[in-house]
Amino acid sequence: MSQPIVTLSRALDQASDVLATVHADDLDKPTPCGDWSVRDLAAHLAVGPARFLQMSRGEEVDWSSDARVPDGTWATTFRAGADDLIHHWHGEPADKAAGAGWQTAEVAVHTWDLARALGRDSDLDDEVAEAGLAFLTGALTEDNRGSVFAPPVSVPDDASPYDRLAAFAGRDPRA
Q: Which residues of 5-32 are buried (b: 16+ CB within 10 A; e: fewer)?
A: bbbbbbbbebbbbbbeebeeebeeeebb
For the chain, which domains are there?
3-168 (1.20.120)
- Could you report the per-residue pLDDT of 87-121, keeping only the tens digit for each? 999 988 888 887 899 999 999 999 999 999 999 97
Q: Check: CB of residue 128 under 8 Å from CB of residue 160.
A: no
Which residues in 83-100 are b (16+ Cβ under 10 Å) and which e? eebbeebeeeeeeebebb
Q: Note the pLDDT of residue 21.
A: 96
Q: Counting Cβ atoms within 10 Å, is residue 138 exposed (0-12), middle (13-18) or buried (19+)?
A: exposed
Give the tens place of pLDDT for each residue, 10-49.
999 999 999 999 999 999 999 998 889 999 999 999 999 9
Local structure of 18: helix, strand or coil: helix
- The pLDDT score that the predictor gives to residue 1 is 56
pLDDT of 84 strictly over 90: yes
pTM given for the model: 0.94
CB atoms within 10 A of CB 58: 6
